[in-house]
Structure 1
Amino acid sequence: MIDYYRVDADLPPRVQQLRDRVRAVVDAEVLPVINDYWDRAEFPFALVPRLAELGVAGYTARGPGCPELSPLEAGIVIRELARGDGSITTFMGVQSGLAMGTIALLGDDEQRTRWLPSMAALDTVGAFALTEPGHGSDSVRLETTARRDGEHWVLDGAKRWIGNAGFADVVVVWARDADDGRVGAFVVESDPQHGFPPGYSTELITGKIGKRAVWQPDVVLDGVRVPAANRLPGARSFHDASRVLATTRGGAAWESLGHAMAAFEIALEYTAGREQFGRPIAGFQLVQSTLAGMLAEVVTMQLWCVRMAELQERGEWTGPMASLAKLHHARRARQVCLDARDLLGGNGLLIENHVARHLTDMEVVHTYEGTDHIQSLIVGRDLTGLSAFS
């Protein structure tokens, strides 16, 4: 691993040990098989038990059974997963940051006790249903409705790009109260014998160019009945959804760093061994200039991520800060992966060399959690006090 500014060398020993544990599993278990899953667009169910053994599901979520990692520890875990594969990173991010994070932040004590321990063990898989077919960047306008009917809520609507939703055990669904228009979160549970309640259905989205080994289906909610006890009491407006997203956007920055690190290291090794015109291409000026530029981006992202963790630990992290980090890291990591693919030439097109997978996975990261255009408007509003959103 290239640690040019000794960022990793200065990590606390416990964080280095966690990094090494995750990296060992990624190198030994994920990398040898992930290309086959990715190529077939199949979810790697066989890897879930090994991920569970790491004991990191839930990341920074506070609650029964959760590992309660520090922001730095969680970031390093995300980075190391992404150095291996983006689909695995998304699966764990949905489980830990979105589904478990929402329940931990917005649920009551009974709900945390009911769901979090089994989710932390990955015995229970979670999903987070916010995005809709007609509402991505403007998800604040969500149209899925929740109507109270005695001791139940009845959900109607549609969701799109919902990771894990096809095989999840619990799905956090965001919906608008049909009576007062307020946004809330409802946990739809799958019964071990009968599956999800009537009216809940999914259809897998196919043909993706990136993150092909994670399943992100469309979800239809047609009169789905949810017990009143499954409404999360802390979710009272879209602002509460934004609180969850501000945390996961920081995770997207760490993920971007992981993809960039992997692409850079692959390119460095490849150019040292690839000979053209009688010598290694690493000795050519243009190649060295490209490698130096890639390294500069990786080091910048490393330093930024560590600073982000410090601010989160001190409680000084804000939504606009998260937007700026996501905007910057997604842009720069995308370019680093593109530079790596270019340095590998035709071989960069082959997934066996991993760079093509990191590059197309970064296309997904660049889009989800809000595109760079949306993030820039969030930052612009914070800077100027003027909203560019209509």
Structure 2
Amino acid sequence: MRGISINRMYRLFFVIYLFFMGGSCYAQPHEKQLPPDRPLIRYKAGEMPDRILMSITDSLAQSRTITWRTSKATPTGTLEWSDKVKQVDFYREANRMDALSEQFVTYAGDTVYYHTATLRALKSGQHYVYRVGEGDMWSEWIDFSMPTDEDAFQFIYMGDAQNDIRPLWSRVFRKAYAAAPAADFVIHVGDLINHSQNEYEWAEWFRAGDFMLAAKPQLAVRGNHEYVKDEKGVKQYSTPSWPHQFRYPPNGPSSLPNGAYFIDIKNCRFVFMDSNDALDLQGQWLEQVLKNNTKKWAIVVCHHPVVSATEGRINDGVMTHWKPLFDKYNVDLVLQGHDHVYARGRIPNSEGNRIGPTYVISVAGRKAYAVGNHPWMEVKMGNVQTYQLVEMSDEAIVFKTYALDGQVQDVFRIVKRDGKPVVEDN
């Protein structure tokens, strides 16, 4: 049974209001939400599926969720898939699944459809292939592999993309993919784009990521640039298209769908937080998530750093509501963005001892800030685009940061002793 749901009508009314008001209620001017006069790539939806993204709504071990977009000319969608990848004619007996299709009105007033389909009961170590579409309009066939039952796994961690996404961020993402083609998933720490409702910037992000976004799960959190702001720069609500494109487990606070969630992967609990909104509420939720964690490792992902790596950027809410819980429940690693530098370290206690989680701030895009000089920072770099490869096993977390020449810039190892994280620098 196909499901059709209309996104909230107030968004359309809001677009009409902005038209008559000249966009004056935005801190980011109205024109910044619109495509350039001479677009270099296609950004409007068509009959052919685009913006194909793989995510996880159940478990990494057994399911994959696929989302994609079409114009109003294709209001329904289908996913076809097969595990007979060795056969040339696998497509003749492919399985079919109807998608959930949702109508959405963009900031510019275009009506599009987002489609979602979830594959479940997938097998460990199995290779699969899928495509999405309807009628005569289909994507290419896309291959993906499920992880094995071994305890070890690997993932890619990407800092902010945000600016010059297609020309400059694309090379970082492709370098990371080439360096770790067997990585199980990719983590994005927010600010994927610069202007929350600019369809051209989102088109750049999907063009830059290309098939890689469709072949591996992309686990993301929202940054401040995924939020719509008022004329005073106060964040009002997150990018309206986010919950249609980025689908995650519905186990977070109900007021933050697809914004705060957790996923258990092998022997680690990953907790994804929205550091823009409801920090106290998320803190209450976070305590229960960490308190009930039966996994050996705990990693938290959020956009705003608990402690900054630049000057004059303080995130008191995150420090107040979340850091005490990181310490109390022995979180091992906190992955962050926002500051547009690379920094890594642990926060010294009153006696000067470095304890608690390792905090990492990373940037993948071209925007760069001056690096600060703060006591918590053990490694720091400015004016550099990086990507991170993280290998995990029951024994240790091995973390490596790479520059775009392929050289390792930072490496460390986390082990557990008496239930607490201990860092071993290499």
- TM category, shorter: under 0.3
Q: Which is richer in helix?
A: 1
Q: Which is richer in strand?
A: 2
- TM-score by structure 1 length? 0.24
- TM-score by structure 2 length? 0.23
Greater relative contact order, per chain length (Cα 8 Å cut-off, separation 6+): 1
